[in-house]
A and B are shown apart, each in its own frame.
Chain A
Amino acid sequence: MKTLSELKQFYQAQLLADLKALEHKRRKVLRKRMYVNTVILCIVAAAVFVTINFRMHPHIIFISIVLSVILAVGAYRLIGKDYIAEFKILIIDRIVHFIDENLTYDRSGCIPKSTFVLSQIFKTKPNRYKGDDLVSGKIGQTKICFSELNAEYESRSGKNRSVRTVFKGLFFIGDFNKNFSCRTVVLPDTAEKLFGRIGQKLQSMNLVRDDLIKLDDPEFEKLFVVYGSDQVGARYVLSTSLMKRIVDFNNKTNRDIHLSFIGSMVFVAVSYKRNLFEPRIFQTLLDFEPVREYFEDLQLAVGIVDDLNLNTRIWTKK
């Protein structure tokens, strides 16, 4: 595991030069955006002027606002595209290799939707699905793969359209260190926190999930609810030590953690509110702070192998 001081050295020796060049590009992007903003303001102002002077339908103002917002979003994307791509190739890719030489980084790849659905962590099948920053490789004896994901479900009823986030954050897949054929899902426990025993009863009546598994680690039980297809199998996977490790990991990240164990693999979904591995637009790139954040986010994912002790291979799966 690389330390922060090693990162700082790497940052000063290797990254600063490229960051300076990118900083140039960032300023250019910002200037272009300001330009787009002024154009939009002019369009809307013109629409208002025309509506008032020529006594036209006020709808024109609304249409112009909507049109210009759509234009702006498109323009922003076009303007930022090269800058973001270059940032990822020059900076994120290098940080990934700094953490571990054997990892590969694909800035536009992501965990496929079929895999996301296969993990059975989220019961709603998303109809809007995108992601990026795919990292894959082998840490010790454990094959891993993770990316940023943004999965949403859009429901239309007549003219109304509402978009619900199914999952946004880091999605990790790893080779688990035991062979098993059952299915176990570990979810953050909201009901038990709020309603105690009654909450647990409600959880056991969940129709879309497997049977409720009540485990013997009280701290773990407070934080998580577990559904599984086999009472003994779930306990084989979730050993006493693994439960402790999951609790520690949860407390370390301080985020909503979801896990599932299927087909001798482990899936971990860590919810994030912010976007990961994106370059700053409005602040300078030259600080150490954002580099530290990228590093810590990547380290969190790679660290899951150690946190869950996946490289301990004392059973028949090697």
Chain B
Amino acid sequence: MWIAIIAAVVVIVIIVLLYNTLVGKKNQVINVFGTIDAMLKKRYDLLPKLISTVKTYMQHERALLEEITEMRAKAVSGRLSDDEKVDLDNKVTKALGGIMVAVENYPDLKANQNFLQLQSTMNEVEEQISAARRAYNAAVTDYNNAVEMFPTNIVASIISYKMKKVFEISEEQRQDIDTDKLFKA
């Protein structure tokens, strides 16, 4: 009689621990995604300043700069799903990369103090975004492991926790930035 009760209690305790582990990992994923969001906002806040600084110098990249302005407007409108946010982020990263490469053609711009300071700040924000993405992938991997591995997979299937996707760059963005194509005025 007693043994049955103790065994039942032990089993319940184990289930509770497994459940809590899963919930903790799911929340960590949400937490880190929030951090990515915060970092992205920092970058979107810097974009207008960047555009106004380079606009007067970079005559040939008008189209690209306008594209970035559009993307920014979309990003801060606040009406995006998580997937759309990620997609937009990838597009902006690629466009920004193109701008930074094109700067090489404008020695005056490269020497401009405002631009240099802005460049340092942007480097820092980009690196922080990259760090946040890596942390997100780590949190997702941790969560996915718990959803798939024994014994947490039992509890996971009971409460219908599914695996999540890590941050990936789509094929088209994986290709190197073709600078010529980008800067057809």
Contacts and interface: CB of A to CB of B under 8 A. Distances in A.
Interface of A: 178-179, 213-216, 231-233, 235-236, 239, 314-316, 318
B88 interface: no
Nearest to B31: A231
Given A232-B35, A232-B132, A315 B137 contact: no
Contact count band on B: 10 to 19
Interface string B125-153: 00110111011011100100000000000
A316 B135 contact: no
A315 B32 CA distance: 23
A216 B135 CA distance: 9
B127 A239 contact: yes
A176 B87 CA distance: 33
Contact of B134 (A235, A315, A318): A235
A315 B135 contact: no
Contacts of A236: 127-128, 131
Contact of A232 (B32, B120, B121, B124): B32
Contacts of B127: 178, 236, 239, 315
Interface string B39-55: 00000000000000000
Contact of B131 (A179, A214, A232, A315): A232
B179 interface: no
A231 B124 CA distance: 17
Nearest to B138: A214
B114 interface: no
Contacts of A232: 32, 35, 128, 131-132, 135
Nearest to B120: A316
A216 B134 CA distance: 8
A316 B142 contact: no
Given A213-B138, A232-B132, A314-B120, 4 more contacts: A216-B137, A231-B139, A236-B128, A314-B119
A56 B99 CA distance: 93
Nearest to B141: A214
B124 A316 contact: yes
B124 A178 contact: yes
Contacts of B142: 214
B153 to A, nearest CB: 16
Closest 9 CB pairs of A and B: A235-B131, A236-B131, A315-B124, A231-B135, A232-B135, A235-B134, A232-B132, A316-B120, A314-B123
A216 B127 CA distance: 15
B138 A231 contact: yes
B94 to A, nearest CB: 19
Given A231-B32, A233-B131, A239-B127, A216 B120 contact: no
B135 A235 contact: yes
Contacts of A315: 120, 123-124, 127
A23 to B, nearest CB: 54
A235 B137 CA distance: 12
Nearest to B139: A231
Interface string B94-123: 000000000000000000000000011101
Nearest to A214: B138
A95 B121 CA distance: 40
A294 to B, nearest CB: 38
A208 B121 CA distance: 35
Nearest to B38: A232
Contacts of A318: 120
A236 B124 CA distance: 9
Contacts of B131: 232-233, 235-236, 239
A224 B65 CA distance: 43
Contacts of A179: 124
Contacts of B32: 231-232
Contacts of B138: 213-216, 231
A62 B54 CA distance: 84
15 contacts: A178-B124, A178-B127, A231-B135, A231-B138, A231-B139, A232-B135, A233-B131, A235-B130, A235-B134, A239-B131, A314-B119, A315-B123, A316-B120, A316-B121, A316-B124
Contacts of A216: 134, 137-138
B16 to A, nearest CB: 18
Nearest to B36: A232
A92 B127 CA distance: 41
